[in-house]
Amino acid sequence: MLARVVRRTLASRRGLRGYSTVTGDVVGELETRGLVHTLTSRALRTHLSSPRTVYSGVDPSARSLHVGNLLPLLALAHFARYGHRPIVLVGGATGSIGDPSGRSSERNALDPHTLSANVAAIQTQLKTFFANVAQLSGKEVGVRMLNNYTWMSGVSMLDFLGEVGRHARLTQMLARESVASRMEGEGMSYTEFSYQLLQAYDFAHLHRTSGCTVQLGGSDQLGNISAGIDLIRRRMGAKAMRDEPAYGLTLPLLTTASGEKFGKSAGNAVWLDAELTSHLDFFQFFLRTPDADVPRYLNALTLLSSEEIAAVLDEHDADRSKRTAQRVLADHMTRLIRGAQAAKTAETLTAILAATPDDVPQLLSQLDLHSAASMVVRLHHAQPLELTRIAAQTGLVKSRAEAKRLLNARGLYVNNAPAGEGWQERMVPMPHGGKAAVIRAGKSALRIVYIA
């Protein structure tokens, strides 16, 4: 639920600024939000006084992006807000190798079918993300979405060595953190060693074909970004140029207050794909944010202005037991990633978790079962309706034995009341036909059982 003060402010917005002229200091905006780790040149601020083309890349190493991938994408949205032209690049070619940055071992190679499926899924997520940015801000972002397979698939090894390899210097390549840290351990393959040149080639290609002069990335991407700037400079013979031909801006990695990172390798990924992280779990992740992390997440992850964030935090500090800031964060992030209907669904499910057994039927009848599809189990009267079997088969618990243990310990619930015989009698008639009930194990694991 958005705090009243924020809802009023959002309702009065007239959208993002136009793209024909630069309307302010985007680097200053990002610094205020804690989104700047490194600038490759102090001249970047001056360079951004005119509209520029800016890009950031996405690695399709999984079928979904996760919350830890969001900062560069949000930075692109802020660049668009200040009048610049954003490009998001999906690594359909480089994804077949895998970026070694920030890794202690080589990635497993993806087969072409899996890689192609990952690229398609991530492109869909990116379209949804930027559409939701436009919905929340009131104006199209104007982002271009590209796939580096388009230009890399036709480049032969001889062409690559001639166009890129001749400009690369081994001393610089070996000194970059992504390489140096691995050389101290088990080493790295030539494939991984060459990755920085592939990413450099992307930057050089976009610089030549789209006039792209700025690359954004996480702090672990500084070496790859620098490789691209160096390649552009050498290919242009730009040593004697007064102005830099290209620039980079890196963003900090998203962490908790204790310094814990988010991501696949950290084992705590919160996925953008609703099939991997349900609307409820996504919403609850942000709702459980500790007070120490909330100000940083509101600044880094939302599109709220500094004035709106200050108002939220003031209201939050007036009575922290209401968790106002966490509710604003959870609502905004779910709208941004999943859309308005998903946010409404997640709020309803959250209310169901805390409701009394008497209040569950009314809340359940308001639930959009289509939006909550990843949590809905659809059954027919002819199917076995044994509760422990349903709990185990739907993944609510690990096994039927665990379901029986919970049932005996009064830890398995139907509509928030301890389950027992005749649980089907508690099912709630739904507005569009059929009946449904909330099956819950423990405090927060739940499924919606729907019988047509």
pTM of the full structure: 0.88
CATH code of the domain in which 400 resides? 3.10.290.10
pLDDT at 1 over 70: no
Cα 337 from Cα 279, distance rounded (Å): 10
Positive or negative: CA dihedral 171, 177, 180, 186: negative
Q: Are 84 and 50 in contact (CB under 8 A)?
A: no
Calpha distance 154→159 (Å, rounded): 9
Q: Are residues 380 and 348 in the same domain?
A: no
As a whole-number percent, the residues of the chain with pLDDT over 70 amount to: 90
Considering 302, 332, 354, which residue would you say is the last residue of a domain?
Answer: 354
| Confidence label for 13 from pLDDT (cuts 50, 70 and 90) | very low
Give me the residue label for tokens 């071992």: 105
Over 90: is that where the pLDDT of 380 sits?
no
Q: Within a domain: residue 283?
A: yes
Q: Do 77 and 64 fall into the same domain?
A: yes
For residues 99 and 237, membership in a common domain is answered with: yes
Residue 107: per-residue pLDDT: 64
> Helix, strand or coil for residue 377?
strand
Asked if 90 and 171 sit in the same domain, the reply is yes
Tokens in use for 104?
A: 């202690």
Q: Are residues 120 and 221 in contact, defined by beta-carbon separation less than 8 angstroms?
A: no
What CATH code is carried by the domain that includes residue 310? 1.10.240.10
9 is a domain residue: no
In a domain, 2, yes or no: no
Residues 329 and 370 in one domain: no
* Domain membership flag for residue 6: no
Q: What is the pLDDT of residue 234?
A: 86
Which domain-ending residue is among 229, 250, 271? 250
pLDDT at 11 over 70: no
Q: pLDDT tens digits for 122-155?
A: 999 999 999 999 999 888 889 999 999 999 998 8
Q: What is the mean pLDDT of the chain?
A: 88
User: Is the same domain home to 222 and 274?
Assistant: no
Q: Which residue has the higher pLDDT, 440 or 385?
A: 440
- Counting Cα atoms < 13 Å in the Cβ hemisphere of 351 gives 17
Most confident of 6-10, 21-25, 171-175, 252-256: 252-256
Q: Does residue 14 carry a pLDDT above 90?
A: no
Mean pLDDT value across residues 158-173: 80
Residues 408 and 444 occupy one common structural domain = yes
Does residue 3 lie within any of the structural domains?
Answer: no
| Structural domain includes residue 17 | no
With respect to residue 14, please indicate whether it lies within any of the assigned structural domains: no
Give the per-residue pLDDT at 264: 58
372 contact partners, CB below 8 Å, separation of at least 6: 278, 279, 280, 345, 349, 448
How far apart are alpha carbons 316 and 324 in whole angstroms? 5
Give 67-111 pLDDT, tens digit per residue. Answer: 999 999 999 999 999 999 999 999 999 888 876 665 555 567 789
Tens of pLDDT, residues 246-275:
999 999 998 877 777 776 555 578 999 999
- Of the pLDDT bands very low, low, confident and very high (cuts 50, 70, 90), residue 376 is very high
* pLDDT higher than threshold 90 for residue 51: yes
Percentage of the chain exceeding pLDDT 90: 67
Domain match, 293 and 338 both: yes
* Angle at alpha carbon of residue 180, lines to 179 and 181, rounded to 5°: 95
Would you say residue 423 has pLDDT above 70?
yes
Alpha-carbon distance of 327 to 350, in angstroms, equals 11
Give all strands (DSSP E) within 108-167, no chain letters. 144-147
Looking at the structure, tell me whether residues 349 and 361 fall in a common domain.
Answer: no
| Residue range 43-64: mean pLDDT, rounded | 96
- The last residue of a domain, from among 313, 332, 354: 354
pLDDT tens digit string along 211-241? 999 999 999 999 999 999 999 998 887 555 6
The number of folded domains in the chain is 3
Structure tokens belonging to residue 92: 């359909």
E strands, 219-276, are: 247-251
With bands split at pLDDT 50, 70 and 90, how would you rate the model's confidence at 201?
A: very high
Question: Which of 103-107, 197-201, 285-289, 382-386 is the least confident region?
Answer: 103-107
Closest CA to 269 of 101, 121, 66: 66
Domain residues for 133?
A: 23-250
The answer to whether residue 305 sits within a structural domain is: yes
pLDDT at 342 over 60: yes
CATH number at residue 204: 3.40.50.620
Residues 6+ apart with CB under 8 A from 195: 94, 97, 98, 99, 100, 178, 224
Please indicate, yes or no, whether residues 391 and 339 belong to a single structural domain of this protein: no
Q: Are residues 35 and 126 in the same domain?
A: yes
Q: Angle at which helices 340-354 and 279-287 pack, to 10 degrees?
A: 70
266 and 134 belong to one structural domain: no
